[in-house]
């Protein structure tokens, strides 16, 4: 069974304090790994797709990396507006559903 585990469940950072979120996965075959951001009361918002080990993608203060067993979402010098739940998901083949982890709830304190 395809599984995605995210850690930590919750993370509290001071503004400017860099850190990383982890997403480990066990799948029969990986087509893509996705990162989403979810704000309270809203739907998940797409951030990145990673397709192969060694791939990296960046957007503002966020950088996502991928290995054969896990992905990291690095947050550099976070700001309070980065506070959200970050969800990781895997896709085994095209046009198929995503399997989501339970997310990491990030709080950035000014």
Q: Which long-range contacts (CB under 8 A, 24 or more apart) does 38-47 make?
A: 38/84, 38/85, 38/86, 38/87, 38/103, 39/84, 39/85, 44/87, 47/86
Residue nearer to other proteins on the CB measure, 15 or 58:
58
Among 61, 70, 100, 105, binds other proteins (CB under 8 A): 100
Stretch that binds other proteins, among 13-21, 30-38, 52-60, 61-69 (CB under 8 A): 30-38
Residue nearer to other proteins on the CB measure, 9 or 15:
9
**Nearest Cα to Cα of residue 78 among 62, 65, 63:** 62
Query: Given the rule CB under 8 A, which residues bind other proteins?
Result: 31-32, 34, 36, 42-46, 49, 87, 89, 91, 93-103
């Amino acid at each position: 069974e395809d599984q995605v585990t995210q850690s930590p469940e919750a993370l509290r950072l001071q503004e400017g304090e860099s850190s990383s979120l982890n997403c480990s996965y066990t799948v029969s075959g990986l087509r893509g790994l996705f990162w989403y951001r979810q704000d309270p009361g809203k739907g998940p918002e797409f951030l990145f797709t990673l397709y192969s080990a060694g791939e990296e993608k960046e957007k503002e203060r966020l950088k996502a990396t991928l290995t054969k067993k896990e992905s990291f979402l690095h947050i550099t010098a976070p700001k309070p507006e980065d506070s959200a739940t970050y969800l990781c998901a895997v896709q085994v083949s095209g046009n198929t559903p995503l399997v989501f982890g339970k997310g990491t709830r990030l709080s950035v304190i000014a």
